[in-house]
Structure 1
């Protein structure tokens, strides 16, 4: 059995094509969770925003986008190409985010996720607890709305 290596590396706006490709593969358009290229570039240009790319056996497998302000951080996006799911990519990204946050003095890490998203199991398994709800936050392509749940983890 071959050993699979997940490598994390910092990214920036030069990686936008890769981010677009991963987002298109990872997010089902019916839920309205993916960002446009201009939205992603706009956020990546903000102070305190960090893009982390995950490579599995040197192939792009996922990414995370995090914004830190003083002692708090928010996981803005986490995407894993479906081809690479259940191989530890999301866990590696989360661990990297937590490690970076601790090293940078972050006390609390926040995120929001669509109600019913399978990723909730991942987040709760990694110490996140539900702290709130945003009604009708996501709008899918058909106009259907979905609630978002907010989560927090102390670091």
Structure 2
């Protein structure tokens, strides 16, 4: 069994985008077409209600989440963990932070979407998320293959 790590969390800023991009490229398998571009992340960060959470282990970036809140609903848009830090508490710490931040901002529900078959589903279910929908063939890989997206919700 892997050793749990001490995860430090902080709010992210535009200067963190190179690290976010590096984490995303390492974490998201290109076969599934899930990674966003730096410009997509930057564009969202400039919008009201959007926040970035950065996780570090010592001085090393270990993961991040990009989230947004509109009125009383929040959405986890992206969550990624450096592969060498997976299953060691990093993703769970980031998710707990997003839940706490969403709650403190007045959100009553937190939504997310995940590719069918993604190992992160276990993390989301353990944190109280319930499947509420499915988008057939939503994600597109670079070779045109399609993958289903599952939508989840957690009351706060």
- TM-score bracket for this pair, using the shorter chain length: over 0.9
* Deviation at residue 57 of structure 1 after TM alignment: 2.3
Q: Equivalents in 1 of 2:114, 2:152: separation in Å?
A: 8
Secondary structure, counterpart of 2:23 in structure 1: helix
TM-score by length of 1: 0.96
Deviates more, 1:26-35 or 1:37-46: 37-46
TM-score by length of 2: 0.95
Secondary structure, counterpart of 2:8 in structure 1: strand
Q: In the comparison of the two structures, how many residue pairs are matched?
A: 154
Q: Quote the residue 2:86 is aligned against.
A: 85
The question of 1:150 aligning with 2:140 is answered no
What does 1:113-132 correspond to in 2, within 5 Å? 113-132=114-133
Secondary structure, counterpart of 2:147 in structure 1: strand
Q: Equivalents in 2 of 1:6, 1:58: separation in Å?
A: 11
Q: Which runs of 5+ in 2 are unaligned?
A: none
* Deviation at residue 4 of structure 1 after TM alignment: 3.6
What does 1:5-154 correspond to in 2, within 5 Å? 5-154=6-155
Which contiguous aligned blocks of 4+ residues in structure 1 show a shift greater than 4 angstroms? none
Q: Equivalents in 1 of 2:38, 2:132: separation in Å?
A: 30
Q: CA RMSD in A?
A: 1.2
Deviates more, 1:16-25 or 1:37-46: 37-46
CA contact (8 A) 2:5 2:90 kept: no
CA contact (8 A) 1:4 1:57 kept: no
Q: Which runs of 5+ in 1 are unaligned?
A: none
CA contact (8 A) 2:114 2:150 kept: yes
Secondary structure, counterpart of 1:124 in structure 2: helix
